[in-house]
Every structure is written in C-alpha cells, then in structure tokens.
Amino acid sequence: MEEDVTRRLVYNYGPAYPNVLRYFDRNADGDGRCSDHRAVLRAEVLHGIRDEMAEKLGDVIFRRTDLGTAGNPGDTCLSACAAVMAKELRWNETKIQRELEEIRAVFPK
C-alpha cells in the first residue's frame, strides 16, 4: 500500500485505521482503490457497511468516506462503490440504479 494512502487512513480513522485494513484484500485486482483517480479503498466501503452500518450509497459517499466532500466523484467511482455495496448487501440491479440516481441528484449538472 502506498504511503500516502496509509497516511490518509490514519488521518481519517485515527487509531481505528487497522479496522479498515482488515478488509483490504491484497489478492484483489489492482491496488484496492474504488477507481483509478480516487484514493478511497474498497476496504473503506466494506468498513462503512460492516462496522458503521452504512446501508445506502449516500452513507458511504457523504458520511463514511470523503468521496463526496470535494464534489462529484464521477460515475466510475460511484458505480464502483455501488458494486461493492451491491455484492455485500445483495442489491439487485433496480436497487443499484435507484441508489446511483439518488446520489447523482445531489450533485449539480
């Protein structure tokens, strides 16, 4: 894991950052990021769901990570987070699309 990612985890989660790391899959494709241009890890999304009871995509984007704080993270990132949540929470395609629409409605076009 890159030093800047570890530093960000420590900054955002403090002494609880190892709780996030337990969801980091070293065998997964890529570096564990939700998308190429964002630092947030899939492990952070799983941590939000499993440890912080996130049930909606908005919970993850606006409250459990810093993805939404600087504006729209983009469709690639939103879709990647929704895919992690869908797998974990057993969302069907209709639920995924509804969650994505709710998030897209928050950001100005």
Between vectors from CA 93 to CA 88 and to CA 97, what angle results, nearest 5°? 100
User: Domain span at residue 80?
Assistant: 3-106
Instruction: Report pLDDT for 41.
Output: 80
* pLDDT (tens digit per residue) in 62-108: 999 888 888 898 899 899 999 999 999 999 999 999 999 999 999 87
Mean pLDDT, residues 26-51 taken together: 73
Distance CA 64, CA 60 (A): 5
CB–CB of 78/100 below 8 Å? yes
Q: What is the CATH number of the domain that holds 9?
A: 1.10.8.870
Q: How many domains does the chain have?
A: 1
In the block, residue with structure tokens 């969801």: 23
Helix, strand, coil percentages for the chain (3-state, nearest 5): 60, 0, 40
